[in-house]
Structure 1
Amino acid sequence: MIKNHVMNTYGRADIIFEKGIGTKLYDTEGKEYLDFVSGIAVNCLGHSHPVIVNAIKAQSEKLMHVSNYYWNEYNIKLSDILTKNSDHESVFFTNSGAEALEGAMKLCRKYGKTQSEDKDVILYLSGSFHGRTMGAISITGQPAYQKPFMPIIPNTVMVEFNSVEDLKSKFTEKVCGIILEPVQGEGGLSACSMEFLQTAKDLCEKNDALLVFDEVQCGIGRLGTLFAYEKFGIIPDVICIAKALGGGVPIGAFIANEKTSNVLVPGDHGTTYGGNPFVCSVACAVLDELINNGVIKGVDAKSEYMKSKLLELKEKYPSKISEIKGMGLLIGFKLEGSPKEFMTKALEKGLLVIYANNNVVRLLPPLNVTEAEIDAAIELLDKVFAEF
């Protein structure tokens, strides 16, 4: 057991990683691991990618941080990249996905109150996960996350995942917004149906409420498009992003469309570190690599290849894999057995995977993963299944 004074809030494996290159991680004993967790969908270009390393070196020698009372060039440049590649108008930079969701909640509440004092209800979905802050757990549809911290923020109402009937019954004139993940990550790689998303969009327009997509895990190329909403053809009013945006440095954002871009005014919301020149310069480099150097364009083909290999495993182990789940490179399988135990056995074999709810094992490789690396992961999974 590793001795330390870090607060015990994670079930950490008894391993210390000290370096990473591409899809490979190395611990302090020199053992090599194939990383199909990617920092939980953060390391979209893998470890120590030269584009990121060079951006870090260059900007750290120029300017790390200034207050948001002043402009910096990369804050402006990154906002331009995000808005030019979306259907949206303005960006607020945060340090994490949870903070992006907090900002989106405030945006919904203020937008509602410009119409009526009691238009303050926020809807969210069962099975969802939006972060660990008090606001984020108040819209997280998993009671286990909420119970120890009750009471949660009031006027947040849960809707049954993909139930159009339940959505319609709870979408009153008091609703100021609905926040959802188009593909639930922590919830088990389940995608919202087109009917559900279209109904949510129609109800928002009818009741002048905001549709917010949490794309923290499923966005920034993970589904094969820069933004997840592009895969569904439903344009939300607000998008929340983080994780892969910085490729490893902490940055998030919420992006607002034209009708919501001026709702928050000076004094309504703020951040000390959000949007500083260091993280924004790295994010610009990451997006350039993803968008302009073909990384995102290659995701669909890699996804199909991985799915075909997982289906072969399902045929080989029909009593252990019941379903292949997910989209793009947010992919995995429903396991007949303990996913936590499976993850531990995979780690022993030198493969990093992560589990989600409903007995789902997630595979989240870097977006520039090769077919040879996918083959190597499948071979290791095969060995785990043989002993599982």
Structure 2
Amino acid sequence: MIPTILPTYNRAPLSFTHGQGSWLFDEGGERYLDLAAGIAVNALGHADPRLVSALTEQAGRLWHVSNLYRIPQQQELADLLCQTSFADTVFFTNSGTEAAELAIKMARRYWFEKGDPRPGIITFQGAFHGRSTGAIAAAGSEKMTQGFGPLMPGFLQVPFGDLDALRAAIGPDTGAVMVEPIQGEGGIRALADEDMATIRAICDEFGLLLILDEVQCGMGRTGRLFAHEWAGIVPDIVMVAKGIGGGFPLGAVLARENAAAAMTAGSHGSTYGGNPLACAVGLAVSRIVSEPEFLQDVARKGAALRAELQALVDANPDLFEEVRGRGLMLGLKCRVAPANLVQAGYRARVLTVPAADNVVRVLPPLNITDAEISEAGQRLRRAVEVLRADAAGN
């Protein structure tokens, strides 16, 4: 029988009826500690009353009018994002993939308008920029591109973190460098702050645009509003999504005026992007996560959660190699199949996310409590016990 839902996901045998904060509840009433947060989406957990209020209030007034008209909620959110970031201008999308498409178009249009077309964009191996044909061409991995050719031309991948290879790859057609400060799908691989600064310097030396993909690592997840802030650099274009909507579909491209100047009327559009519902929720999220006190607390909680994970590594060196990441974007580098730990976690009632490079991601809501961090350590230890019991055949 043909499935009515296209089988592009290997879904877990779990179904949740409701959530509250850092917890999800299944059909049988079992409670799961959510250290996945919808893959870094539910920045404020489940059913946060501030977001529920923002959504329901807006839903009772106006859902959609299209970008043919001014949308006050969109303007207010754009103003806030520009006030709290490097950006001069914002375009709203529905997802990170759409943000990636616009970032690519923006970079290429920039050079076209200069009369010096440079379509080439250098990216890094292990990257993930979305699932569209342009985004998979940018990442370039066989897993994502196989069977979907011909691919969009103009992308060149270099080894992650190899700045000598980056410099050597720059040619007369190169117009931009696109990079995740922390690779999420790629295995919670973080560029060192000094390497981020060097990439910015290389772009300046060759006159290239620097595009940062902060879809997963942005909006407060590392303890700064944007991960690049740790390196003290100013990018030209930044893609965000996931956490900005707190669970409601929303993405954005933030840009400096010079980088975006060629995107004039008619050069891009979106039917749903920046609609009143999404922007009302995004505004509520952004007001909270951009507060310095909130970000400081994320950094503090990140250190506490890292300590729990490091204790797990230290106690089980045969199962784990290291803890990776920053803030509340953390990963366990495993010596076993990550899927096995994730599945053992289901039985321990704790949710995590697998990634490449043999890593299990730990991406809790940014407002996870101290008690829940302690509980996370306990439940992960229980997952390890389940994993060992399974390996022993018990």
* Shorter-chain TM-score range: over 0.9
Q: Distance in 2 between matches of 1:132 and 1:77?
A: 30
1:1-388 aligned at under 5 Å gives the runs: 5-292=4-291, 294-388=293-387
In structure 2, C-alpha distance between the alignment counterparts of 1:198 and 1:173, rounded to whole Å? 23
Offset of residue 116 of structure 1: 4.3
Kept in 1, the 8 Å contact 2:214–2:239? The answer is yes
Note the alpha carbon deviations across 1:276-315, whole angstroms, 9 max, x for none.
1111011111112223483322011111111111111112
| Cα pair distance change 1:207/1:358, threshold 3 Å | same
Distance 1:238 1:192 in 2: 18
Say if 1:335 and 1:361, in contact at 8 Å, map to a contact too: yes
Asked if structure 1 preserves the Cα contact closer than 8 Å seen for 2:219 and 2:243, the reply is yes
Post-superposition offset of 1:258: 2.2
AA at the equivalent of 1:148: G
Q: What is the SS of the residue equivalent to 1:106?
A: helix
Which whole-Å CA distance do the structure 2 matches of 1:216 and 1:139 have between them? 15
Preserved CA contact (<8 Å) 2:67 2:271:
yes
Unaligned 5+ segments in structure 2 are 388-394
Amino acid at match of 2:87: H
CA shift, 1:147, in A, is 1.6
Q: Which amino acid aligns with 1:100?
A: A
CA contact (8 A) 2:347 2:383 kept: no
Which amino acid is 2:147 matched to? P
Code of the aligned partner of 1:372: A
Deviation at 1:359, TM superposition (A): 0.7
User: Amino acid of the residue matched to residue 233 of structure 2?
Assistant: I
Letter in 1 for 2:100: L
Post-superposition Cα deviations, 1:65-120, rounded to whole Å, max 9, x if no partner, equal 11101001101100000000011100000000000010000001111223345411
The alpha carbon displacement at 1:195 in A equals 4.2
CA contact (8 A) 1:41 1:244 kept: yes
Shift of 1:141: 4.2
1:121 deviation in Å? 0.4
CA apart distance, 1:127:
0.6
Residue identity opposite 2:71 in structure 1:
N
Contact 1:225 1:296 in 2 (8 A): yes
Report Cα offsets for 1:102-148 as digits up to 9, x if no partner.
00000011112233454110111001001000011011142211122
Measure how far apart 1:227 and its partner are.
1.2
Amino acid at match of 1:137: I
The C-alpha deviation readout for 1:314-341, integer Å capped at 9, x for no partner, is 1211111111111110002101101011
SS of equivalent residue, structure 1 residue 295:
helix
> What corresponds to 2:391 in structure 1?
none
Aligned residues: 386
Q: Assess if the C-alpha contact under 8 Å between 1:164 and 1:195 holds in 2.
A: no
Greater displacement, 301-310 / 90-99? 301-310
Structure 1: stretches of 5+ with no match in the other structure: none
Distance 1:176 1:185, change over 3 A: same
SS at match of 1:30: coil
Identity score, percent:
38
Q: Is the 8 A contact 2:110 2:261 kept in 1?
A: no
The amino acid of 2:67's aligned partner reads N
| 3-state SS in 1 of match to 2:87 | coil
- Does the aligned pair in 2 maintain the 1:112–1:209 contact within 8 Å? no
Q: CA deviation at 1:197?
A: 2.3
Give the letter for the 1:174 counterpart.
Answer: D
Q: Which amino acid aligns with 2:85?
A: S
How far apart are the structure 2 equivalents of 1:6 and 1:152?
Answer: 26
| 1:118/1:292 CA distance change after superposition, 3 Å | closer
CA-based RMSD of the aligned residues comes to: 1.4
Q: What TM-score do the two structures reach when normalised by structure 2?
A: 0.95
Q: Which amino acid aligns with 1:164?
A: L
Instruction: Give the letter for the 1:50 counterpart.
Output: P
- Are the equivalent residues in 2 in contact too, given 1:182–1:214 (CA < 8 A)? yes
- The question of whether the paired residues in 1 share the 8 Å contact of 2:18 and 2:25 is answered with yes
Displacement, 1:249?
0.5
Residues 173 and 207 of structure 1 are in contact (CA less than 8 Å); yes or no, is this contact kept in structure 2?
no
Instruction: Tell me whether 159-168 or 95-104 shows the greater mean CA deviation.
Output: 159-168
Deviations 1:152-210 (A, max 9, x none): 11011111111111001111231111111000000011111334323322232233221
Question: What TM-score do the two structures reach when normalised by structure 1?
Answer: 0.97
Segment of structure 1 superposing worse, 138-147 or 158-167: 138-147
Structure 2 distance, partners of 1:291, 1:188, is 26
